[in-house]
Structure 1
């Protein structure tokens, strides 16, 4: 699918969302709380790792240097409590905004977009959340490939347009539709269905961009392999 086809398909979907939104004059639905699951899991893992390290250090000290005794054990417990509280109440990462996505460096764009998508999950229907999870996997792969992509290349422009502009704008248009109208059918489709189909289209486009980048790497590898084969044919340098 060409970039023009993608833009046209997304424009049709966004147009449907806009028409549904205009049926109601009620205020916008309140935004859901950003998902905290991943952040909580990371904090718990950090707390567990830090406490294990403290206990190991205390055990090694008690065996190799001198017994800790009651006061030493109390000191270890106090350190563990202090570390636990410090990690638990440490300020989290600042939320990613659409404006920040537009200004992100190309190499950081996939990771920033994944964080932004995570924050949108509470406001999306379950089928759309499943698609955003797949998009996150695509973005993880794409992020690893961007280390060798120049900012001025056509591939970089396509990635910025799709990941940094079209994806967040499309989800924003859906979120502007009043919640009570998102399941109402119009022209054969509901806004919920339009959202899922648009996200699936974006997922496929990200996958194609990733394949194109991989194809370039494979071509480069094949060319280098042929060069080395010609230069060191039969095991002897030319």
Structure 2
């Protein structure tokens, strides 16, 4: 068996594992918390808007003139309109542009990248969704670990390079490949397989970084020189 055959077999094995991977409990909890937080934000905005309308109506009735039937109907219509408007309005802020990730403060980088990664999920092949969930969970765990890390430290630079540069570049490189070519083999691998391998490498790297941060091994983290030394990164993916 040639090296290309072994590489292709390994990539296919990884794709099968990712395809069979059920969403983890942590990923499910993360998604549930995000949905619950969105519901809370929506309900909060509706309560504030409706409260403001009722307060304005009371002030008008006391200071100017009684509302009467028509005024009461108008208030009711305003309450319904405000409730419907804030119920359908997106609860969260828009996803950041990938170029903005380099300017995000380090302690906010994992959650911001996680948010950006979630917005890319629909464009990614279904077999890698399990890896996307796994990376999201690890980013969530990484966030509080970075709160006390000096922005200017070499260790912080390694984290920023992997989370804020290499992960987005991998996804961008895959997105540049035309849809009909994503399952066409090139140099022994398809772009779908290259993406799966790249996400697995990044998933493992984030886990290693989190472990080193937890153990206080900042010097080791700073000197590891984490790069994705595989040919699918960046423009080479786009050329597949």
TM-score by length of 1: 0.59
Q: Which residue of 1 aligns with 2:180?
A: 180
Following superposition, the deviation at residue 83 of structure 1 comes to 3.5
* Residue 170 (structure 1) aligns with: 170
How far the C-alpha of 1:79 sits from its partner, in A, is 3.5
In structure 2, the CA distance between the partners of 1:180 and 1:104, relative to structure 1 (3 Å rule), is: same
Alpha-carbon shift at residue 200 of structure 1 (Å):
0.5
Q: Taking structure 1 as reference, are residues 43 and 164 closer, same or farther at Cα in structure 2, changes over 3 Å only?
A: closer
Q: Tell me the SS of whatever aligns to 1:165.
A: helix
> Which residue in 1 is equivalent to 2:153?
153
Q: Distance in 1 between the 2:153 and 2:116 partners?
A: 25
* DSSP-derived class of the 1:148 partner: coil
1:128 maps to 128
Q: Is the 8 A contact 2:102 2:165 kept in 1?
A: yes
Contact 2:38 2:91 in 1 (8 A): no
Q: Is the CA contact 2:162–2:202 (under 8 Å) kept in the aligned structure 1? A: yes
Deviation per residue, 1:133-192 (Å, 9 max, x gap): 111111001101111100111210100110111111111111111111111122332110
Segments of 5+ residues of structure 1 without an aligned counterpart are: 1-36, 55-69, 218-238
- 1:115 and 2:115 aligned: yes
Structure 2 CA distance for aligned equivalents of residues 180 and 50 of structure 1: 44
Counterpart CA distance in 1 for 2:44 and 2:96 is: 28
Q: Is the 8 A contact 2:46 2:86 kept in 1?
A: no
1:137 alignment counterpart = 137
* 2:211 paired with 1:211: yes
* Larger gyration radius, structure 1 or structure 2: 1
- Distance in 1 (alpha carbons) for counterparts of 2:102 and 2:124: 22
CA 1:47–1:91 in structure 2 vs 1: closer, same or farther (change >3 Å)?
A: closer
Greater RCO, CA 8 A, separation 6+? 1
Q: Structure 1 pair 48/89, CA: closer, same or farther in 2 (3 Å)?
A: closer
2:149·2:156 contact (CA, 8 Å) conserved in 1?
yes
| Separation in structure 1 between the aligned mates of residue 47 and residue 98 of structure 2, nearest angstrom | 39
* Residue 99 (structure 1) aligns with: 99
Q: 1:201: Cα distance to partner?
A: 0.3
Deviation at 1:89, TM superposition (A): 2.8
TM-score normalized with structure 2 length = 0.59
Pairwise CA RMSD of aligned residues? 3.5
